Amino acid sequence: MASCETCVVRNRAICAALDAQEIGALNAIGRTRTLTPGEALIWEGDDSVLVANVIDGVLKLSTGTEDGREQIVGMVFASDFIGRPFGATTGHGVTALTEATVCVFNRRDFDAFAREHPALEHKLLQRTLTELDRTRRWMLLLGRKSASEKVASFLLEMAERTASPGCEHHEPAGEIRLDLPVSRQQIADVLGLTIETVSRQFTRLKGEGVIDLPSRREVVIRNRHALVAEAG
Count the helix, strand and coil residues of the chain and give each as a percent rounded to the nearest 5.
Answer: 40, 25, 35
Q: Please check the confidence at residue 166 and state whether its pLDDT lies above 50.
A: no
Domain 145-230 CATH (choose: 2.60.40.1180, 1.10.10.10, 2.40.30.10, 3.40.50.1820): 1.10.10.10
Give 218-222 contacts, CB < 8 A, sequence gap 24+: 218/177, 218/178, 218/179, 218/180, 219/155, 219/158, 219/177, 219/178, 219/180, 220/171, 220/175, 220/176, 220/177, 220/178, 221/155, 221/159, 221/175, 221/176, 221/177, 221/178, 222/175
pLDDT (0 to 100) of residue 168: 42
pLDDT (0 to 100) of residue 79: 87
Q: Please check the confidence at residue 1 and state whether its pLDDT lies above 50.
A: no
- Other beta carbons within 10 Å of 46: 12
Percent residues over pLDDT 70 in the chain: 92
CB 44 within 8 A of CB 93: yes
> Where do the domains of the chain lie?
2-139, 145-230
For residue 192, the SS3 value is coil
The CATH class of 2-139 is mainly beta
d(CA 27, CA 84): 19
Mean pLDDT score of the chain, rounded to an integer?
84
For residue 210, the SS3 value is coil
Sheet strand arrangement including 218-221: 176-179, 218-221, 211-212
pLDDT (0 to 100) of residue 203: 96
Q: Please check the confidence at residue 98 and state whether its pLDDT lies above 50.
A: yes
Confidence band, pLDDT 50/70/90 cuts, at residue 137? confident
Lowest mean pLDDT among 58-62, 111-115, 143-147, 220-224: 143-147
